[in-house]
Structure 1
Amino acid sequence: MLKKIFIIIICLVLALFSIYLFEVYAPPQSSRQEVNFSIVKGSSVKQISQNLEAVGLIRSSNFFKYYVWLKNKQTDLKAGEYILNPKMSLKKIVAILAGGQALSNEQAITIIEGWNIDDINNYFQKNNIFSDDSFANLAKAKLSDWKLSI
């Protein structure tokens, strides 16, 4: 009798472990189409998991919440825009969201000492930061002429 109970417990543990492995490592879809996914600053794990499930990036929002809790990543998920793929495993998605590998709209610029406004304006045009002389016009304008839209 004790042997049967032990075998049943072992089978249950193996079944639960198999489900865990399937949920963590198997992608929810075979589609290779990338999905833009954004996390708004202050979003909860519950909101993030529901949004991921809604766009088909994960199978179960509950399992996502459990996995994030199990890996102690609740506070590590970072706000931003991400490009994710339904072929990614849950483990990979959590690593990307916790690692903050978000898309960046920032561009590094280098203004060399000695450049005048026209040199800077040409640099901006060459690097597609400004397409016309708007930087030069703004830099040469009086401060009272600036119209800021905040």
Structure 2
Amino acid sequence: MSKNGRSGIKAAIFLPLVTLGLFSICFLMGMVSGIPARAEQIFGPPSPSLGMVRLYYQSSILILQSEQLTSPANHQGGMISFTILPGTTPDEIIRQLKDAGLIKSSSLFRTYLIYTGLDTSIQAGEYSLSQTMSAVEIAQALQDAAPEETTFVILAGWRAEEVAEALPSAGVGVSPEVFMAEVKAHSAEGKLFPAAYQFSRSASAAEIVAIFQQEFERQVGLDMQKGAEKQGFSLEEVVVLASIVEREAVVAEEMPMIASVFVNRLRADMALGADPTVQYALGYNKSQGTWWTNPLSAADMEVVSPYNTYRNLGLPPGPICNPSLLALEAVAFPAQTPYYYFRAACDGSGRHLFSETYEEHISKGCQ
């Protein structure tokens, strides 16, 4: 074979190999150049402080381990209270998260934090985290600490169950059932004093009930106890009657008048005949979505319960709600009136019409 022939064969072999090599290099360069874009698509923009080499390296790791980062550590896990103290390093936080079973891989979580720059913005504070959260979700959650304390408001006239139901919405880690068990254990209905409170989100049911009761004791001073004695009541009886006055009154200034009617009826051995005591006895009305059934039917009025003051003389066995200071004072220092009856005025004002006799009371009914 001639020299020119052999050169032609070599060229025929060499050129495709060079072409294939160049194509492979271009393909690999395209693949590599697309790695950061792919990582950003999955995990968001990278930290501007990352160098080129580190960006490619960490992007590659995140893409390869994306499923582990975006899936929960435990599909069955519950909520965990997680505290980050001021000055805690990211590495220490990562170790604590791993120990709590909140993340699967410490090194992978660290890589994600550095890639996103979230390692520099973790906030100290109290967190409610769950093992059902992914590593990405946990990293995001650690950027916004819930305040260690929460503000919680008890409205006058709420029964204990209504207080219990409001706790979760304030971010308090106490279930309504546990709270109610504590209320019943301490006979605290009526002494969960209506006010605005601030306490730790991690406070126990016992601590929360104690806070409410301490405020009650602070508000109910010696003068009120003397007023109760003057009326022939114990402080407990004042609380019971005040809870009824609280639920009956719409206009606060009428409370002493309403209290006077009930005091007069008790002294005359008359049944109190208070609708709110029937409402309390009936409990939660599912169809109305309230603890206070309204209106009451004739059958409701006959409910068999020691709280039904239409069927039973005297005070019910306990408070029906948590009364305000105004209601407590109205019972300890009631107006001096000759009235034994009252009914709602017909003008929709929320005020009441008071009467000495039943006949007068009936005559004031709405036409």
Does TM, normalized by the shorter one, top 0.5?
Answer: yes
1:107 is the counterpart of 2:151: yes
**Unpaired stretches in structure 1, ≥5 consecutive residues:** 110-123, 138-150
Contact 2:98 2:106 in 1 (8 A): yes
Q: Which residue in 2 is equivalent to 1:125?
A: 193
CA distance in 2, matches of 1:131, 1:45: 41
**Pairing partner for 1:51 from 84, 96, 100:** 96
Structure 2 CA distance, aligned partners of 1:18 and 1:71? 14
Residue in structure 2 matching 1:20, options 58, 65, 78 = 65
Counterpart-to-counterpart distance in 1, 2:61 and 2:126: 34
Q: Could you give the per-residue CA deviations for residues 18-55 of structure 1, whole angstroms, max 9, x where no partner exists?
A: 43312321112212311111111111100000000011
Question: Could you tell me the percent identity over the aligned residues?
Answer: 23
For residues 121 and 68 of structure 2, the distance between their equivalents in structure 1, rounded to whole angstroms, comes to 21
Higher relative contact order (CA 8 A, sep 6+): 1
Shift of 1:96: 0.8
> Contact (CA 8 Å) 2:70, 2:135: kept in 1 or not?
yes
The residue type equivalent to 1:90 in the other structure is A
How much does 1:64 deviate? 1.6
Tell me which of 82, 85, 94 is aligned to 2:127.
82
Query: 2:142 & 2:212 partners in 1: Cα distance?
Result: 32
Q: Which SS does the other structure have where 1:43 is aligned?
A: coil
- Over 3 Å counting, the alpha-carbon distance change for 1:18 and 1:67 in structure 2 is closer
Q: Distance in 2 between matches of 1:63 and 1:83?
A: 22
Q: After the TM superposition, which segments of 4 or more aligned residues of structure 1 sit over 2 Å from their partners?
A: 1-4, 13-20, 102-106, 127-130, 132-137
Distance in 2 between the 1:48 and 1:67 partners?
14
Structure 1 residues 19, 86: CA separation in 2 closer, same or farther (over 3 Å shift)? farther
| CA RMSD in angstroms, aligned pairs only | 3.5
What is the TM-score with the length of structure 2 in the denominator? 0.29
Q: Any conservation in 2 of the 1:83–1:103 contact (CA below 8 Å)? A: no
Q: Which residue of 1 aligns with 2:322?
A: none
**Bigger Cα Rg:** 2
Q: State how far apart, in whole Å, the 2-side matches of 1:17 and 1:54 are.
A: 22
User: Which residues of structure 2 form unaligned runs of 5+?
Assistant: 1-19, 39-59, 154-191, 196-208, 221-367
